[in-house]
Every structure is written in C-alpha cells, then in structure tokens.
Amino acid sequence: MKEYKTIDLFAGIGGIRLGFEAFGCKNVFSSEWDKYAQSMYEVNFGEKPFGDINDISPSDIPDHDILLAGFPCQPFSIAGKGLGFADTRGTLFFNIEAILKAKKPKAFLLENVKRLTTHDNGNTFKVINDKLNKLGYTVYHKVLNTLDFGLPQKRERIYIVGFLDKLHFEFPKPIGKYEELSNILESDDVVPNNYFLSDELKRKRLSSITKDVPYPSIWHENISGNVSALPYSCALRAGGSYNYLVVNGVRRLTGREMLRLQGFPDTFEINIPYSQVRKVAGNSVSIPVIRAIAGSMINSLNMATPKINQAIQLSLLD
C-alpha cells in the first residue's frame, strides 16, 4: 500500500486524521489554535499542533499529498450567526487556498456544515468552488448524514473532495443502518450524580413529550422549547444551550458518550474539562464518514498512479 502524507488543518482533536490513518496515511503537520483541543490532540497523537494558521507561511508547511481541513463552520451554520466571509473565521478558507496554491498536494478533503451550499444564496459556495477550480483541482461535493454510516447521530455535513489530476471519484454509498444507542450509552450506575437532572427538570421535559418514547433514547430540546425523544442523537454542537441533549430524559451525555457518537474509540484519552469535551466533540467530525471518504479517495489516487507512470514512460520514448 502506498503511503500518502497528509496535513491536518483546523485539526480539532484529530478526527479527520484518524479516518485517513486507517489507510496507512502519515500525518506530517497539524494546526489547531484552541488550547484544549491542542491538549487532547497532543495526548492522543504525541504531537502538539501548530497554533494559529495565520502565523505560518504556506511555503513553510511540509510537502504533502493530501490536505485535510474541517475549516470553521460557525460563520456558515444555522446555529451560528451565518456571517460567512464577513466573520474572520469564515475567511480562513483563504488560508487553505494559499496552502493549496503553494504546495499543490494531489488531493484535499474539506468538511463544513450543510448550509455552506446555500449561504448568501449560494454565492459563498460558488466563491469556494471557483477558487479551487482556478487552482487546477477537479472538485466533487456531497452532503452526507452520519446516521447513514453506522452512528446514531443525525449530522448532515458537506464534504468537498478535490484532485489535482482529473481523477474519477465517487462518494461512498450509505450503509443504511446505524448502531444501537445501547452500545453507545454508559450504564447510569457509573455516571456521576451531577450529570442527572433535578426532579423538576425531568417533570418539565416529560410533560413536553406528546409521542411514545423509545428506550433507550436521547431527548432533544430545541430553541422553541419543544422536546423530542429519538432512538438517535441530534447533531452534537460546540455551543448552543438550546440544543440540550438528555439521555432517557434523566441526565446529560458523558464526555465518553459524545466521543462515541462521533466514532472515537474508547482508547482515545480525555484530559480536559467536561465543558471543553462538549465543545471539541461538537466541533469534531464523524470518523466513520471520514474513513469511508478516505477509502474512496485513496482508491482514486492509487488507480491514477499506473496511468501517470505509463504517461511518463511514453514521454521518455518520444
């Protein structure tokens, strides 16, 4: 198997990296500015990510084959203010553009919220797509739902894949089923008491339920105060108290449960406070989706290699 070098930008706690490491990829550079995400990344990967991406010249980034970036989604999300490029974080896409221009990797994977495609009447996505095309990349994009790739979390995200060569690529097909919540949730008897709701809050939420409640379930209270009980989780979010998720109507999700809902193995170490785990888990990616895309990308790159070698041989004969 050919070893491809990756860089991990806006790395969070390394979810995208894990998906590509499953195919033997070697990461040669990472960048993440949040100190808690940095700490968790370091304890699990043995390296502390570089800080602010604005503080490094694209030319100083190591050569690599695949650029990975879950660039900040809040400027484009429904939960955020939707400012797009008017938000400083929204302009971080142009850092990605500069690195692609300077280093010319064979491929890239970008991840963001579903709303990126419709933000500013589609103009934001058009700018992104045009910039990538002008750099010579063939670009593919698709919205995929975590529920369709084995995890009980309804999380729709857009995935943008690009190749410097005009390679054939197909996004992975959904597997059409997801793991039972019972395999994700910890037993209540091992969960600390401070995770459980008061009797008053439990009564309040129960009174808002009008349909039969599945068991186990995760209860979701939206911004209007409506409560729904589902056999899967709504999308984890970095913030937004309105998106309050409650296990079986009685307690908060634990940090381990949140990581499991994103596909992180139980061996992935947690070394930061609960409030920060909630943030980094909400900012992270769903690893099974990334792993499926990575497999398709690696397959496209591997299939291209013989053709490129053949073209080189023919040019030498001319």
Which residues are known catalytic residues?
73
**Residue type for 301, please?**
L
Question: What is the bridge-based pairing of β-strands 233-234 and 227-230?
Answer: unpaired
**C-alpha distance from residue 165 to each of 26, 105, 227, 296 (Å):** 21, 10, 48, 15
21 three-class SS: helix
Q: From the centroid of its chain, how far is CA 313?
A: 40
CA neighbours closer than 13 Å in the CB half-sphere of residue 256? 14
- C-alpha dihedral (293, 159, 224, 181), degrees to nearest 10: 0
**Residue type for 268, please?**
F
Which of 226, 192, 233 minimizes the C-alpha distance to 207?
Answer: 226
Dmax (CA) of the chain? 82
Instruction: Tell me phi and psi for residue 27, to 5 degrees.
Output: -85, 130
Which residues have a Cβ under 8 Å from the Cβ of 241 and sit 6 or more positions away? Answer: none
How far is 203 from 82, CA to CA, in rounded Å? Answer: 35
**Residue type for 142, please?**
K
How far is 201 from 244, CA to CA, in rounded Å? Answer: 12
Are 271 and 13 contacting, i.e. CB atoms less than 8 angstroms apart? no
